[in-house]
Structure 1
Amino acid sequence: MLKIALPALAALGLVAFAAQTMATDAEQTSQPVDGMGWHVNHDGDETRLFYGVANSDQLAVMMSCHMGDGEIVTLGAVQPVSARSAGSVEADIDPLSGELIETRALSAHDPAMVRLARSGRLGVQDETARFDLSATPQERQAIRRFLDDCGTSQA
């Protein structure tokens, strides 16, 4: 999966900078960056939820799961703030940027995913800041469908 997703992460440095400018302290709620939002796509039995610009390689975070699996793999310039995580953190080098990319596996029942389903907010962090990525009411419906596809029934 990483070999397919890595080219999509070519613009992560730009997106990380844009996401970082959304927060000035650890508890700030984000305001959307122009053109960025929550999007879902399906590829066979895999479904993906990402926060970024639609139909582009500009994304801050991507989450994917195999339908019904109950485990969500995350990667991107920011990572969900999680109380607990399943599996290990893996790192790989992005061949386009040369930067280190971390992937993490979260339980579909992780408190971060529960909060995203219930309130439309995902707490994320990068190397310097912690902030929320918010969803519009329409995006929240897509997020619930993603979580349902992952086998969570949290909506």
Structure 2
Amino acid sequence: MRLAILSVALTAAALSACATSPRQPAPVAAAAAPAPIDGYDWFMHQDGGEAMLAYGVADSDEVKLRFDCGKGTGRLHLIAPAVKGERQFHLESGGDTERYPASLEPSGLHDGDLMNGEAPADAPVFQRFRRLGWIAAWRGQDREVYAAHPGSEDKVEAFFSVCG
């Protein structure tokens, strides 16, 4: 009888060992936020019911990406210098990616054109930007990351609070 009980116990132990799932790999650590670039940051300006958020150099015409909105509209106007042949905004933040068609118009400040587009302020890529404080623009095969310096993230949040 003891031999039968021992045999059943060993069989149960062997079967339970087979039924366990294989060892799961350790989770990959979340990627660190991109580092801000010296001299560049996010700047917000509000005038009445209009708000503007731009990434560039303070007090200059050097702007990489700009968003405009009317108070409570929930819509963004996108503006960026165009790279030759570029006709869309390809934006990414924290894994969310969106593409928006763009029209071109001559730049009044620089050689070349400016891209203009429209987007909903509540699109996932903008909501992620709002939480993380950085957004990237794909320019052909190149990825340009626009990260807020510590303390500037509040400008991003303030802008989206105005837009609705």
Q: Distance in 1 between matches of 2:136 and 2:118?
A: 16
Structure 1 residue runs of 5 or longer lacking an equivalent are 1-28
TM-score normalized by the length of structure 1: 0.69
Q: Distance in 2 between matches of 1:136 and 1:147?
A: 18
Structure 2 residue runs of 5 or longer lacking an equivalent are 1-32, 83-88, 92-96
* Matching residue within 100, 104, 111 for 2:113: 100
Task: Work out the percentage of aligned pairs sharing the same amino acid.
Answer: 25
Q: Distance in 1 between matches of 2:107 and 2:115?
A: 10
Q: Distance in 2 between matches of 1:31 and 1:137?
A: 10
* Residue range with higher mean Cα deviation, 75-84 or 88-97: 75-84
Kept after mapping to 2: 8 A contact 1:77/1:126: no
Q: Distance in 1 between matches of 2:44 and 2:77?
A: 14
Q: What displacement does 1:80 show?
A: 5.2
* Matching residue within 138, 141, 144 for 1:125: 138
Between 1 and 2, higher relative CO (CA 8 Å, sep ≥ 6) is seen in: 1
Task: Return the structure number with greater strand share.
Answer: 2
**Structure 1 stretches of 4+ moved >3 Å:** 29-33, 95-98
Kept after mapping to 2: 8 A contact 1:71/1:105: yes
Q: Distance in 2 between matches of 1:96 and 1:120?
A: 27
TM-score normalized by the length of structure 2: 0.65
Q: What displacement does 1:41 show?
A: 0.5
Residues 144 and 135 (structure 1 numbering): CA distance in 2 closer, same or farther, change over 3 Å?
A: same
Provide the aligned C-alpha RMSD in A: 2.5
Q: What displacement does 1:96 show?
A: 4.3
Q: How many residues align?
A: 123
> Which one has the largest radius of gyration?
2
Q: What displacement does 1:30 show?
A: 4.8
Residues 122 and 135 (structure 1 numbering): CA distance in 2 closer, same or farther, change over 3 Å?
A: same
